[in-house]
Homo-oligomer: A and B are copies of this chain.
Amino acid sequence: MMIDFQTDPSRYKHWKLSFDGAIATLALDVAEDGGLKEGYELKLNSYDLGVDIELYDAIQRLRFEHPEVKTVVITSGKDRVFCAGANIRMLRGSTHDHKVNFCKFTNETRNYIEDATEFSGQTYICAVNGSCAGGGYELALACDQIILMDDGSSTVSLPEVPLLAVLPGTGGLTRLADKRKVRRDRADFFCTLEEGIRGKRATAWNLVDQIVPRSKFADAVQKAAVDAAGKSDRPADGRPVILTPLKRTISDNSVEYDTVRVDIDHRTRIAEFMISGPSEAAPADGDAANEQGVDFWPMKLARELDDAILHMRINEIEVGVWTFRSQGDADVMASYDAVLDREQNHWFMREVRHYLKRVLKRVDLSARTIFTLIEPGSCFTGTLLELSFASDRTYMLDGQFEGDNRPPATVRMTAMNFGPYTMPNGLTRLESRFIGEPDTVGDVKAEIGKDIEAVDAEELGLITFAPDDIDWEDEVRIAIEQRAALSPDALTGMEASLRFAGPETMETKIFARLSAWQNWIFQRPNAVGEQGALSLYGTGQRSDFDKRRV
């Protein structure tokens, strides 16, 4: 079964999106029988990937289709239950890779909530009007404020460890420790408590920001939403950009969009991403780009690449190596980067820049080997060159191919390589690349706007290897095929360890540290074995754990 990440509000089963001027409300009201797969009912507002795909869609639309929305309130559409977290029967019935992919996507979506709050003047507030457990509380933790109903029954909890013998897998532990900075002994107590915490202890321990009686709850949420809206710099009269359906053709061996085409070789387990650069020069300014909307080329690229990555991650899990190639005109591509740079204060340009940043982070976080191949006719300029910097290696042809009279390949940096596209570690890819020699970032910056051939690009440290025509075929083909033959698991661990040198952030802690522990636990018999807690939950039987402490 193919999982599709495309949806729209008319098809939502689980979320209700409503608007009141600058304030939007996203109400979770999960359809029990609306699961993505058979075999489980989504009781108590518990969720599966399908629920989260809708949430991601809503978050994207709020940023682009609703420039006027300054506060988003997340709440429950059900009485006395906010959200019970990820559905346990769904987890129990899922393969290891699906569990991990599910957690990664939900983590990214929660990070986007924080991204909207921090960078886009669209603040998320969580109105917890019922019991809020596990992934439910982790959703709340991703919001800027948590307001808990003080009604004697609404609680927040992270009961995964005592009930299921797994970790809260969507950033809960990291956000407790590093966002809300809950004292470690209190966090320890809280995370081993089945029943959760409410009332004054919830605020004293900073698990929530406010507790409010039921009778005053709506007013308190409204006040917080209005206050947050008052601090926003989003325009009241921005021209909405409607996210019309993607043009996409999926076949057994390819996925095709306007700017992105993915060809898949299932035998060698290699996928080739070909990016086609823009063919017409960029619009003159932010308003003109805003008028183009989803047809503004960088916006189109972001949407298509986003969908392609999500598709390849979850539907093509045996394809272990992705190569990036490109074609197009460097000058035309540079004209788009120029307007993205020059008009960065225009609301739509800001959104496009942050969207491209998020898509590039998806590349960093994809558990696939990524090689970029730079050949004559390519268009690795500015934003597109960033794909090369996100790769594990880059091979660039030195000179021309025999019988091909196109000029040698070049790469070109733009201002977009020196600021807006931060990695999960908070650095640009060039800062991260040259972390051992920070002066080099300044040296290569002096080359902005120049077309750089392979030997010079190698000398500058922008690429990995520059074989010539004679060596290219063997060196590149062998490198890719050898890579595809290595253990997928060892590569995942290696790549996750080498891609993020330097500072750690909440994001890198979530994806590397927390996820790595969770992945380990998701393999352990104490959780997923026949007698494991995840398997036995709800049966009344108790797990007999392997007691060895590892």
Residues of A within 8 A of B (CB): 95-97, 100-101, 160-162, 164-167, 173-174, 176-178, 180-189, 191-192, 206, 269, 317-320, 367-368, 391-394, 432-437, 461, 463-464, 482-483, 486-504, 509, 512-514, 516-521, 523-524, 526-527, 533, 543, 545-550
Contacts and interface: CB of A to CB of B under 8 A. Distances in A.
A269 to B, nearest CB: 6
B489 A174 contact: no
A493 B173 CA distance: 10
Contacts of A394: 185
- The residue among A189, A434, A547 with the most chain B CB atoms within 10 A of its own CB is A547
Contacts of A495: 188
Given A486-B161, A486-B165, A490-B521, A498 B177 contact: yes
Nearest to A429: B184
**Copies of the protein in its oligomer:** 2
A85 to B, nearest CB: 15
Contacts of A434: 183
B514 A497 contact: yes
A364 B433 CA distance: 32
Contacts of A95: 548
21 contacts: A160-B490, A161-B490, A178-B501, A181-B437, A181-B501, A184-B501, A185-B464, A188-B393, A188-B495, A189-B393, A192-B494, A318-B547, A318-B548, A320-B549, A488-B545, A490-B526, A492-B517, A493-B521, A496-B513, A504-B509, A516-B519
A165 B550 contact: no
Contact of A550 (B184, B519, B547): B519
Contact of A526 (B483, B489, B550): B489
A549 B513 contact: no
A3 B206 CA distance: 44
Contacts of A319: 549
Given A192-B483, A269-B547, A393-B185, A521 B165 contact: no
